[in-house]
């Protein structure tokens, strides 16, 4: 399983380092969209958790891609608005609050 380290890098912007189980290290930038956060009803306090959970999902897919040879990777720049367009159920389905599954 990958290790994900996320740090704020400005308003609605994060830098992340993902280290795979095999020891490969990649760096990423995650951009949030204030309007998207409002649509998802994500508070300012929940925003970093959303970013981390998204990266965890993408990192797990990349880990599986390394194992099965499919080549799945985490993009260097992750735009949450674009990701929401591509995978509309992903962001809305992430549990951010206690008791949410």
Q: Report yes or no on whether pTM surpasses 0.85.
A: yes
Confidence of residue 2 (pLDDT cuts 50, 70, 90): confident
Q: Name the average pLDDT for the chain.
A: 88
Do the Cβ atoms of 78 and 17 come closer than 8 Å?
no
Q: Is the pLDDT of residue 48 over 70?
A: yes
Please state, as a whole number, how many other Cβ atoms lie within 10 Å of the Cβ of residue 56.
16
pLDDT at site 36: 95
> What is the C-alpha to C-alpha distance for residues 4 and 95, in angstroms, rounded to an integer?
17
């Amino acid at each position: 399983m990958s290790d994900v380290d996320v740090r704020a890098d400005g308003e609605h912007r994060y830098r992340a380092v993902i280290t795979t189980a095999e020891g490969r290290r990649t760096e990423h930038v995650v951009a949030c969209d204030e309007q998207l956060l409002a649509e998802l009803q994500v508070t300012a306090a929940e925003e970093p958790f959303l970013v981390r959970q998204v990266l965890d999902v993408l990192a797990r897919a990349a880990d599986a891609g390394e194992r099965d040879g499919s080549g799945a990777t985490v993009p260097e720049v992750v735009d949450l608005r674009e990701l929401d367009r591509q995978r509309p159920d992903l962001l809305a389905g992430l549990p951010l609050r206690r008791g949410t599954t």
